[in-house]
């Protein structure tokens, strides 16, 4: 690509590289790393006319997500008396709602990849799902405090906290 003075590198990331959910810290950190290396490469390869593009899907039903849901369910059941039991249960409930609402398929993601290949000039980032677009916008315009409050409410973590406080009161 350097010799030809043109090319495109397309990296598959995730909106999770920008929005980390509880219990998904390791996954989110790996996607955040993909975001960072892509941003650096985009600048490094600019002189050679090589575009570096990020694809950032939101939730898309795949076998990987089905496996993650099964593992989350198993962890929630195995949590027993763990202090994180409520967090697991709240996350699993949120995950199941997300799965039910998801209308996106891997083919939707493939269409966005094709768009990134064909568009001239390509954008640096392509968000695939509406939830990814909304999440990225919220992350950009909201303060961390407001964003965290919104996520805690959406994930049911306030109820988990209230339950823990009730258990620890004398």
- The reply to whether 75 belongs to the active site is no
Residue 55 DSSP symbol: E
H/E segment holding residue 97: helix 85-101
The answer to whether the bond into 146 is cis (omega within 30° of 0) is: no
Contact 99, 65 (CB under 8 A): yes
Spot the catalytic one: 27, 59, 75, 84: 27
The beta strand positions in 13-165, using DSSP E, are: 50-56, 125-127
DSSP bridge pairs for 51: 8
Q: How far is CA 99 from the centre of its chain?
A: 14
| Contacts of residue 163, Cβ cutoff 8 Å, sequence gap at least 6 | 86
Q: Which residue has 């009161």 as its token pair? A: 169
Active centre residues (catalytic) = 27
């Amino acid at each position: 690509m350097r010799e030809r003075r043109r090319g495109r590198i397309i990296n598959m990331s995730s909106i999770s590289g920008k929005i980390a959910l509880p219990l998904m810290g390791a996954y989110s950190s790996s996607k955040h790393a993909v975001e960072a290396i892509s941003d650096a490469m985009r600048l490094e390869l600019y002189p050679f006319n090589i575009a570096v593009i990020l694809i950032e899907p939101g939730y898309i039903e795949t076998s990987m997500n089905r496996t993650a849901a099964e593992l989350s369910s198993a962890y929630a059941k195995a949590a027993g008396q763990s202090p994180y039991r409520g967090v697991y249960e709240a996350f699993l409930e949120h995950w199941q709602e997300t799965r039910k609402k998801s209308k996106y398929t891997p083919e939707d993601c493939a269409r966005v990849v094709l768009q990134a290949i064909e568009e001239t000039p390509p954008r640096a980032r392509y968000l695939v799902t509406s939830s990814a677009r909304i999440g990225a916008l919220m992350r950009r315009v909201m303060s961390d405090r407001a964003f965290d409050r919104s996520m805690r409410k959406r994930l049911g973590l306030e109820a988990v906290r209230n339950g823990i406080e009730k258990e620890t009161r004398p």
